[in-house]
Amino acid sequence: MIATLTLNPSIDRELAVQGELERGGVRGYRRLGDQAGGKGVNVARAVGGAGLDAVAILPAPPHDPFLQLLEGASMRVHAVPSSAPVRINLTLTERDGTTTKLNAAGERLDLAVEQALVDALLREDDASWIVLAGSLPAGSDPALYARIVARLRAAAPGARIAVDTAGEPLAAIVLGGSRVDLIKPNAHELAELLGDAREGDALENDPDAAAGAARQLLDDHDGLGAVLLTLGGGGAVLATRDGSWRGSHPPVAVRSTVGAGDSALSGYLIAAERGLPERERLAWAVAYGAAAVTLPGSEIPTIDRVTPARVTTSTLAVPAVEPSEG
Ligand SMILES: O=P(O)(O)OC[C@@]1(O)O[C@H](CO)[C@@H](O)[C@@H]1O
């Protein structure tokens, strides 16, 4: 069973832009629809869609439209009542598949709601993986995920924890020495974590450099178990303490890249639940990510759309890293 926590869920509203989007210009659009989103929600939906047990834990006011959008979803939903309405994130899609995302900050959660969410997570004591995913609502303590990990470690020492976040919350986890089994940055998030956000494109286009950077993180931070680094159309790299691999997929027709990273993480987790080794988990991650980009908006692929056999994996010879000083 997989339990996800989404502290900042969203209604994902997709707008199809007429013509090309131009900064400062005027364009028409067609509203395509709303989906219940947020990274942990998407992961739970994908895992549930693969026939596995998943629960999405999140805050939402009792009659928020977000909850109606979740009716009939493939996973269990545990909504902790909150007074903060669920944010609306916009996805602007152009004909050629270019996706522009405008994300709202999300409203700060009351301390009592925060506590109730963590308590709900702790009650899921048969979860094989706990996933903490997405940004934190505005005004949250950037170390909130790190504090939640510390509580989970104390209460459930054996649980495996995956974190998919960015910026300060990710830095608080990694640099603060939290013990997590997996992080899933993209190249830009990894570059920012390493202190040079400008290097994101370079990492995305150079899987060897990306793997070296991921491996360096593992060497510098004992708390980290593995890094699943997504590289857009370049597939993904998985760096673990036992080896590093690259997975790539033949090109696909891209409709929307929203949710591709969540799908990749889901693929890894679904393969892990099936007892597959790391290299095959990577193949599943890449296959899920590739299937996701062929779907509109933040639609998450069901397992029948996913073909891990189309993914080529190779072992990366990552140079040995000098032990860090001190
Ligand atoms: O603000 P966050 O939490 O980083 O990102 C939120 C979000 O962009 O992530 C999902 C796609 O990954 C969407 O469902 C959602 O709108």
Give distance in angstroms: CA of 10 to centre of ligand 1: 7
In the chain the first and final C-alpha atoms are separated, in Å, by 40
Give distance in angstroms: CA of 134 to centre of ligand 1: 6
Region 163-189 average pLDDT: 97
Atom of ligand 1 nearest to the CA of 258: 11
The pLDDT, as a whole number, for residue 117 is 97
The pLDDT, as a whole number, for residue 156 is 83
Atom of ligand 1 nearest to the CA of 91: 16
For the domain spanning 2-316, the CATH number is 3.40.1190.20
Using an 8 Å Cβ cutoff, are 174 and 193 in contact?
Answer: yes
Per DSSP, helices labelled H in the chain are 39-49, 65-69, 111-123, 144-155, 167-175, 187-193, 200-205, 207-220, 260-273, 278-293
Q: What is the DSSP letter of 324?
A: P
* Reported confidence tier of residue 318, pLDDT bands at 50, 70, 90: low
Using an 8 Å Cβ cutoff, are 120 and 147 in contact?
Answer: no
Give distance in angstroms: CA of 170 to centre of ligand 1: 15
Q: 37 in ligand 1 pocket by Cβ < 6 Å? A: yes
Atom of ligand 1 nearest to the CA of 101: 8
Q: 103 in ligand 1 pocket by Cβ < 6 Å? A: yes
Query: 296 versus 138: which is more confidently predicted?
Result: 138
Using an 8 Å Cβ cutoff, are 5 and 129 in contact?
Answer: no
Q: 135 in ligand 1 pocket by Cβ < 6 Å? A: yes
Q: Does pLDDT of 198 surpass 80?
A: no
The pLDDT, as a whole number, for residue 227 is 98
* pTM (predicted TM-score): 0.95
Atom of ligand 1 nearest to the CA of 134: 3
The pLDDT, as a whole number, for residue 176 is 96
* Protein residue with its CA nearest to atom 1 in ligand 1: 135
The pLDDT, as a whole number, for residue 326 is 40
**What percentage of the chain reaches a pLDDT higher than 70?**
97
Using CA atoms, how far residue 109 sits from 80, 82, 112, in Å, is 11, 7, 8
The C-alpha atoms of residue 303 and residue 291 are separated, in whole angstroms, by 9
Using an 8 Å Cβ cutoff, are 293 and 260 in contact?
Answer: yes
List, for residues 22-42, the tens digit of each pLDDT value. Answer: 999 999 999 988 999 999 999
- The best mutation among 35, 89, 90 to test binding of ligand 1, ranked by most ligand atoms within 8 Å of the C-beta, falls on 89
Region 161-190 average pLDDT: 97
Region 50-79 average pLDDT: 97
Considering the chain, what is the average pLDDT of its residues?
93
Domains of the chain, residue spans:
2-316
**What percentage of the chain reaches a pLDDT higher than 90?**
85
3-state secondary structure of 58: strand
- The best mutation among 34, 103, 184 to test binding of ligand 1, ranked by most ligand atoms within 8 Å of the C-beta, falls on 103
Q: 39 in ligand 1 pocket by Cβ < 6 Å? A: yes
Atom of ligand 1 nearest to the CA of 41: 14
